[in-house]
Structure 1
């Protein structure tokens, strides 16, 4: 049975690797014309890592990542730590895998090597037509290609997704960037670090074995609506958005050689992901806001369950949809939690953060390879 994967991101490549491990012939089609080094950091939890370990990639992923030793929450103006929890060895023992910070490009290189082949580049899928015997894909370069089954891993604006609802704008944008660790005051002490303030927050963590700090700075607003990895902004704009914040934040933003900026979108949970010959994974199936740190991890879980259930797409969807829906909606709620006004709302939020390890245990401790 010939499988086609649309999209060579982390979820699409992992699905292709897992399917090949099960002796399924698979080809990957990618809209980009080159595999350039784009993106910034990715947080990889135990639930995602165990998928990679099951494919024999655990050691390789560890070697290009930073193992995060703790999580800290800081006051936006003073920089004072008001809540922290251990990670590192404690997290790995508790949840069965590490919590890593990894550059997306490094992650992608590991997966491309494991795929042992080059995705078909310059193949932007525009339509998918299913017949009783095959699926016909049409690409913007003029080609039409048939496969037995098609897996849409082509993101929030998926062409494979059979749904006419529009992406939902969160009324929030983010600045993202990478800064050499030695250019940030106290940069070598940063692990998974949150700076929480009214109406905005910043998350930072090391990647590339600690030599770089990845940051994501979230601000409200509707004037910026572009959603693209390639969109750039002036670092001075990011600094201005966090005027009055602790110097560690403003110095981090000012030291960025370049800053990406994009608007944050998700979609309402889908009622149906699959037909007998077509299914979805990752952001194509359940695009979620980044406030749970689970977009990449859920795509990895999808890939593993899809390969285990293949070609029974109905079973795959039945297993995955309830979990991804809960995380997807929870990610929406987290944005408000991180950006509450000062006073009683902050006090209540900070109290909830003291129980964070137990609150997220159902996410990080989950093993999608234990199929029902």
Structure 2
């Protein structure tokens, strides 16, 4: 039996996606957001074809492009200590039906929020959830003590999810020994429409353009022994970033020197939740499967989850929750494993191993560029809107 109402906890990418998809199917949806406004830190996202398929199905691709999304033409790997490219993944070889976009996170969230309001989703801001109770009619308690019920409660509430705790208990994330800075800077280096990974010993820098190429998004990752807090928006002194990357020169150096207000967070590894749904409560996105940022798939997986969960609920009501979990778990685990493998490849020290790895990458991108891109068919060629 189709559901008539649902509560979504969290007005992030996955939460707004599933809310809009459900509301367009006739479900009365309320989104609870603990913040007093829907806002995002100044950071960029890479929306690969698998995530864009969901936005296209929702009719939002054109809106996002109108807000300055940049169509990516390549993913480029560079070594910090020598000129030229180590390897180039040519995104212009993607099928015509697929695109790869660089977007400002705030623009994507605002586009999704507008679509949610147009679909008559109720957005309740300043509504912090303190606990979630699965059951025949699941319930939740807000910070002020009031209780709400719905046929389905969807936890899209991130790495500190109350819904995840309700289904799985507390987990034990561990510090990976890596920290990451985020920042946006003016495009002072004429950065082209590519994602550039500048690799160095125990660190790497990712850069790509945003908002019609006027800005450049930076993510700088460093291995370190001392622990750092887990979070997205902890302010840090830009001098710390510059000191960590003092061996970088050229364009990377210019971009790092332009940073004024970076945020810093410690990268922690959480297990994929063993239980994604039970008794009318379901998880999606980081609440179910926090992902390290080494394959640029966090937002894309949240979009996939949101569409898949809405489709399952529309087709079979709460009986569809088990099918949603069974369908999503294998793919998510594969993506997470691939992301974890990327980290060490970016941080190789000079020596025989780095020489061999870089030579293999260079040969592959020069001799068989189509085959190199084809290695990502399982990731980019997946379209959740055509599943089932």
Q: How far has the Cα of 1:269 moved from its partner?
A: 2.2
Aligned equivalent of 1:367: 383
Does structure 1 residue 71 correspond to structure 2 residue 75?
A: yes
TM norm structure 2: 0.90
Matched residue SS, 2:331? helix
Written as runs of structure 1 = structure 2, the 5 A alignment for 1:26-105 is: 26-64=29-67, 65-88=69-92, 90-93=93-96, 96-105=97-106
Partner Cα separation in structure 1 for residue 100 and residue 149 of structure 2: 40
Written as runs of structure 1 = structure 2, the 5 A alignment for 1:263-282 is: 263-282=266-285
Q: Give deviations 1:285-337, integer Å, cap 9, x for gaps.
A: 11110101111001100111111111310000011000001111221111111
Alpha-carbon contact 2:90-2:373 (below 8 Å) kept: no
Q: How far has the Cα of 1:6 moved from its partner?
A: 0.5
Q: How far has the Cα of 1:118 moved from its partner?
A: 5.6
Partner Cα separation in structure 2 for residue 304 and residue 150 of structure 1: 16
Q: How far has the Cα of 1:169 moved from its partner?
A: 1.9
Q: How far has the Cα of 1:224 moved from its partner?
A: 4.1
Instruction: Identify which range, 193-202 or 216-225, moves more after superposition.
Output: 216-225
Q: Which of 163, 170, 174 is equivalent to 1:168?
A: 174
Matched residue SS, 2:160? coil
Does structure 1 residue 344 correspond to structure 2 residue 364?
A: no
Q: Which of 334, 346, 365 is equivalent to 2:342?
A: 334
Q: Which of 228, 234, 238 is equivalent to 1:235?
A: 238
Partner Cα separation in structure 2 for residue 18 and residue 190 of structure 1: 31
Partner Cα separation in structure 2 for residue 199 and residue 23 of structure 1: 50
Alpha-carbon contact 1:177-1:256 (below 8 Å) kept: yes
Q: Which runs of 5+ in 1 are unaligned?
A: none
TM norm structure 1: 0.94
Instruction: Identify which range, 77-86 or 273-282, moves more after superposition.
Output: 77-86
Q: How far has the Cα of 1:152 moved from its partner?
A: 0.5
Does structure 1 residue 179 correspond to structure 2 residue 185?
A: yes
Instruction: Identify which range, 361-370 or 111-120, moves more after superposition.
Output: 111-120
Aligned equivalent of 1:320: 328
Root-mean-square deviation (CA), in Å?
1.6
Does structure 1 residue 115 correspond to structure 2 residue 116?
A: yes
Partner Cα separation in structure 2 for residue 3 and residue 39 of structure 1: 30
Written as runs of structure 1 = structure 2, the 5 A alignment for 1:219-230 is: 219-230=222-233
Alpha-carbon contact 1:79-1:246 (below 8 Å) kept: no
Partner Cα separation in structure 1 for residue 329 and residue 192 of structure 2: 38
Q: How far has the Cα of 1:140 moved from its partner?
A: 1.5
Aligned equivalent of 1:284: 287
Aligned equivalent of 1:308: 311
Alpha-carbon contact 2:42-2:184 (below 8 Å) kept: no
Written as runs of structure 1 = structure 2, the 5 A alignment for 1:126-275 is: 126-132=130-136, 134-161=137-164, 162-163=167-168, 164-181=170-187, 183=188, 185=189, 187-189=190-192, 191-275=194-278
Partner Cα separation in structure 1 for residue 332 and residue 262 of structure 2: 30
Partner Cα separation in structure 1 for residue 15 and residue 42 of structure 2: 16
Alpha-carbon contact 2:71-2:193 (below 8 Å) kept: no
